[in-house]
Structure 1
Amino acid sequence: MVKLAAKCILAGDSAVGKTALVQMFRSDGTHFQKNYTLTTGVDLVVKTVPVLDTNDSVELFIFDSAGKELFSEMLDKLWESPNVLCLVYDVTNEQSFISCNKWLEKVRAQTPNTSLPGVLVGTKTDLSGRRTVDSSQAQAWALGQGLEFFETSVKEMDNYEAPFHCLAKQFHQLYREKVDMFHTLV
């Protein structure tokens, strides 16, 4: 049984639902707060995630980052050396999806010459009548960037855990590959 620790960056524009997503995940679905205050800077959420089909777990240190440009210089320091990325957009806000390019570049700048595992998460699927970002378009973009794709509704408690389980599995897989490579050298 192995317990690993991974630094997870939660990135995306303001008001896309990053804090709601991570708070619902941390509380195992028991905490949906209807009124959120805008995150200023970074909030740290820590949760241990079992890796499916193993006895191992990954303790995710999730850095819930402000989506305002005002805080971007501070983020550079806090985002140093991430292990995984959770990129979030709102399915009813096309600009938040377009901004994912900027957020991804910003995070990848912290890990040059390294493949950073991650997920793209479309939130607020319960607002289907207001959707402006097509699932297939977002999924194609995610795959092109090497990211897994998820959609969720925190309000309806739909699929909010899946992105974090995927991140834990991705990080665990990287760990296993490094251990295997080490064993071939010994």
Structure 2
Amino acid sequence: MFCSDGTHFQKKYTLTTGVDLVVETVLVLDTNDSVEHFIFNSADKELFSEMLDKLWESPNVLCLVCDVTNEQSFVSCTKWLEKVRAQTQGTALPGILVGTKTDLAGGRSVDSAQAQTWALGQDLEFFETSVKEMDNYEAPFHCLAKQFHQLYREKVDMFHTLV
């Protein structure tokens, strides 16, 4: 939905079985700048773990996504966060946790407060979305753009102090 500018929600789709790459330009709110997100979407499968190690050599920001109707997807976020942090030791890695499928409230198995508490404890911002209902699906991407922009500005400012 995000990549189609909110114009296309697939009612029938196939789950990610490998690794998908999407590149999307996002405006940084309250600035005249934009950033390009290189979004690697991976299935939660160990089979792709080695491939992801190569793709994730130096991430700038992190977006963990869980399905609020699937407890295991939330539990897996800890594993993925540890994996990324192991590769970025000594580097602050801002990011977010996104709970999806909030429109399926009857099947919810991940408590919003629990997910938010976990995210905050990991220094991640927390969002919940429903792409189907077009609820809050852009906010996580704008947050990531802002986080990346802030990192970029800090590096530019640091460079200017050296000159």
Note whether the superposition's TM-score is higher than 0.5: yes
Match of 1:184 in 2: 161
Aligned partners of 1:35, 1:149: CA distance in 2, in Å?
Answer: 27
Deviation of residue 185 (structure 1)? 2.2
Match of 2:64 in 1: 87
Aligned partners of 2:67, 2:18: CA distance in 1, in Å?
Answer: 20
Q: Which runs of 5+ in 2 are unaligned?
A: none
Match of 1:17 in 2: none
Aligned to 1:112, which of 81, 89, 106? 89
* Contact kept in structure 1, 2:97 and 2:127, CA below 8 Å: yes
Aligned to 2:126, which of 138, 141, 149? 149
Aligned partners of 2:26, 2:162: CA distance in 1, in Å?
Answer: 30
Deviation of residue 77 (structure 1)? 1.1
Deviation of residue 40 (structure 1)? 3.2
Match of 1:165 in 2: 142
Map 1:17-166 → 2, pairs under 5 A: 24-166=1-143
Deviation of residue 67 (structure 1)? 1.7
Aligned partners of 1:167, 1:100: CA distance in 2, in Å?
Answer: 17
Q: CA RMSD, aligned part only?
A: 1.1
Q: SS at the partner of 2:115?
A: helix
Amino acid at match of 1:161: E
TM-score, scaled to structure 2: 0.95
Deviation of residue 110 (structure 1)? 2.1
* Contact kept in structure 2, 1:41 and 1:75, CA below 8 Å: no
Deviation of residue 182 (structure 1)? 1.7
> Quick one: higher RCO (CA 8 Å, sep 6+), 1 or 2?
1
Aligned partners of 2:57, 2:16: CA distance in 1, in Å?
Answer: 19
* Contact kept in structure 1, 2:69 and 2:104, CA below 8 Å: yes
Amino acid at match of 2:31: T
Q: Cα deviations across residues 144-175 of structure 1 (Å, max 9, x unaligned)?
A: 10111000001111111110100000000011
Aligned partners of 1:83, 1:149: CA distance in 2, in Å?
Answer: 18
Query: Per the alignment, do residues 68 and 104 of structure 1 end up closer, same or farther by CA in structure 2, a change over 3 Å counting?
Result: same
Q: Which runs of 5+ in 1 are unaligned?
A: 1-23
* Contact kept in structure 2, 1:83 and 1:116, CA below 8 Å: yes
- Percent sequence identity is 88
Aligned partners of 2:100, 2:89: CA distance in 1, in Å?
Answer: 28
Q: Cα deviations across residues 81-130 of structure 1 (Å, max 9, x unaligned)?
A: 11111100111111211111001111222212111111100000001111
Q: Could you list the runs of 4 or more consecutive aligned residues of structure 1 that deviate by over 3 angstroms after TM superposition?
A: none
Amino acid at match of 1:103: W
